[in-house]
Structure 1
């Protein structure tokens, strides 16, 4: 894959889409934390599917930008520079917020949090400690450790799309088997936060990137992919509300698996459009900039929600909604500040220690 003209294409739509995936998570957490607007969970209750999108997109981008000359050491250092500094900073911010608001802190969990192994712990206490959304970085660390080997193995595959479908089918089969063999209280760990299960989404992302590098193009446009995914989301929400009377009662893994084809379709259609030179709002400079802020938004939003929660819960629904909008806007602004003044400069500085002449890429 090294040296191909496709490698030099900037996939602007995928950067822009990161913002909307992060915003799905933000809206879900806002509805969950602010009691007066909790009813919105019937609409945004599957926002956690945005994490599936990120896992798949992570595999896609890493495969798309993979360099044959890279050593594992170089790759690992770039990933460390990209993820860990902001994670460490927001963990420190989480401690400050907890002390200010009066929330308990599980200090013994701090080592697991800072070393990003928290998602391997079954109980919620450790994996959601300090800054809850950071559990997904524990999965990403596992993906990164395997990537130098995975990319070599998957590049040897001839039937790339068939392999991607097979990976998805295996995930469904594993989920079904676990649902029959284990108690419901164990399924959240086994099928939602455990890195080994979520690896499948990352692998599918890698396979999509390889397929596009080899000339495959999806037969649907970005608009069709997004519309189809929204229809699938609406169908799931309607079924959950009618049958379960509460979308929160639907196991997370069911929604993730249901939405997985839509996430794959959006990524493939968006990348194909970028290669064609398509234009549109999703590729505009403001949206791409928001997408660049998405990692910071993902890590900082819950801290701002925690700090704001005591101010909202005594309000009526209308007032709480107004405050929630303000809080979300503040979260986006804060993410921009973190990206510009900390995340990006720190990443550049750390990467320069290993490869001073290499351009820093997303």
Structure 2
């Protein structure tokens, strides 16, 4: 199998009669860097070990906001024509999402059960594990980050997936101005609850929840994890996806957008500790993320750098990297006493990235195909698999 076949990020499921758009290669690769940012945030403590980059590395949680927005964008890019043509089907969409997410998620939860096996002596721990398996853990502050801490975001994504088929067409813009205003509106909506926290609980809004005794810390933590309050970031991505599909981005502007978004994001994150954590966590960077995403949709020197097949493979494996890195770090720390220094983080990342690629090729892709084949056998009129002739259209 050629590497280019392995790195095609598009789902093996498609809707007959609806052409599949080109693979946005750079947006696949950028996922790896976002996942790497989150991983380094978790693998090194204290952040002061990073020296002058301490503020930047202490803001690694921002990678999750980027994933939420990118998820909305990619799903819209992939499914907008299907729903506009009247061929969208909510159940088919959910099955495809389940096939994409759950095989590796289940493996991560089995690993979580092993790493945290001593925790099953209390009923609340068993309940927390069940909520993790059902991907509903983020609806309660008691279960949001229990067995596999990063997995709280998958609970949010599951909620986004439930809402997506019903709202995608409602967010379809009639003009470019309305599309931009829609993105801006979701940005402001996402910041509304954090703003309330800043006013009512200023101390807690600047701090990590763990160990915080500041008044309102639990409420601030809930604002950071509750799927309902995270969905504006996802729908900002949906609105951005509609903007790109309907109005496009000129190739001459795309590189400028990408560079502006990347430099702006890096500049803000370098001073991350000087901003309220609750704002950064809940979508403050949506405008800069929007520029970066749009800039990576068209061919330019930036996208050429990110379209290397191996980077795309890392991007495809980033989901596994995101799910496994925290558990692997806990296992190394608890079983072997490995510290959380920068050198140890680097060799742990080498191992975890290798495992992630193996999981992507050995579990994620085969698991997805098995689920889709099962579904096709029962609903041949609703879902076909890759391999049939596809027309490619340019945006």
Give the alignment's TM-score, normalised by structure 1: 0.85
Question: For 2:247, what is the secondary structure of its paired residue?
Answer: coil
Q: CA RMSD in A?
A: 2.7
Aligned to 2:30: 17
Aligned to 1:94: 112
Aligned to 1:300: 324
Aligned to 1:261: 287
Evaluate the alpha carbon distance shift between residue 73 and residue 135 of structure 1 in structure 2; reply closer, same or farther with a 3 A threshold. same
Shift of 1:151: 0.3
Shift of 1:175: 2.1
Question: For 2:285, what is the secondary structure of its paired residue?
Answer: helix
Superposed, 1:166-181 pairs within 5 Å as 166-181=185-200
Q: Is the 8 A contact 1:85 1:346 kept in 2?
A: yes
Q: Is the 8 A contact 1:191 1:253 kept in 2?
A: no
Superposed, 1:134-145 pairs within 5 Å as 134-145=151-162
Q: Deviations over 1:124-174 (max 9, x none)?
A: xx1112211111010001100000111021115541111111111222233
Q: Distance in 2 between the 1:36 and 1:181 partners? A: 29
- Consecutive aligned runs of 4 or more in structure 1 exceeding 4 Å deviation: 2-5, 34-41, 102-105, 276-279, 310-315
Aligned to 2:356: 335
1:130 paired with 2:150, answer: no
Aligned to 1:146: 163
Evaluate the alpha carbon distance shift between residue 206 and residue 142 of structure 1 in structure 2; reply closer, same or farther with a 3 A threshold. same
Q: Deviations over 1:62-121 (max 9, x none)?
A: 10110221211100100111111211111011111223xx56672221221111110000
Evaluate the alpha carbon distance shift between residue 236 and residue 127 of structure 1 in structure 2; reply closer, same or farther with a 3 A threshold. closer
Q: Distance in 2 between the 1:253 and 1:198 partners? A: 12
Shift of 1:227: 1.5
Evaluate the alpha carbon distance shift between residue 310 and residue 41 of structure 1 in structure 2; reply closer, same or farther with a 3 A threshold. farther
Q: Is the 8 A contact 2:168 2:238 kept in 1?
A: yes
Q: Distance in 2 between the 1:91 and 1:311 partners? A: 18
1:345 paired with 2:366, answer: yes
Structure 2, unaligned runs of 5 or more: 1-14, 202-214, 377-382, 388-395
Question: For 1:350, what is the secondary structure of its paired residue?
Answer: helix
Question: For 1:258, what is the secondary structure of its paired residue?
Answer: coil
Q: Is the 8 A contact 2:38 2:63 kept in 1?
A: yes
Among 294, 315, 324, the residue aligned to 2:345: 324
Q: Distance in 2 between the 1:117 and 1:224 partners? A: 36
Shift of 1:188: 3.4
Q: Deviations over 1:217-252 (max 9, x none)?
A: 274342232112111212334x36xxxxxxxxx434
Superposed, 1:214-229 pairs within 5 Å as 214-217=246-249, 219=253, 220-229=256-265
Shift of 1:267: 1.0
Aligned to 1:204: 236
Q: How many residues align?
A: 338
Q: Is the 8 A contact 2:258 2:302 kept in 1?
A: no
Q: Is the 8 A contact 2:69 2:234 kept in 1?
A: yes
Shift of 1:190: 3.6
Evaluate the alpha carbon distance shift between residue 20 and residue 311 of structure 1 in structure 2; reply closer, same or farther with a 3 A threshold. same
Among 71, 74, 81, the residue aligned to 1:58: 71
Aligned to 1:246: none
Shift of 1:281: 1.8
Structure 1, unaligned runs of 5 or more: 241-249
Q: Distance in 1 between the 2:281 and 2:98 partners? A: 30
Q: Is the 8 A contact 2:108 2:323 kept in 1?
A: yes
Q: Distance in 2 between the 1:278 and 1:335 partners? A: 25
Aligned to 2:218: 186
Q: Deviations over 1:173-206 (max 9, x none)?
A: 3321243346531343342111011100100100
Moved more, 347-356 or 114-123: 347-356
Shift of 1:18: 0.3
Q: Distance in 1 between the 2:157 and 2:293 partners? A: 18
Q: Distance in 2 between the 1:253 and 1:222 partners? A: 23
Question: For 1:111, what is the secondary structure of its paired residue?
Answer: helix
Shift of 1:277: 9.2
Question: For 2:116, what is the secondary structure of its paired residue?
Answer: helix
Aligned to 2:267: 231
Q: Distance in 1 between the 2:280 and 2:56 partners? A: 16
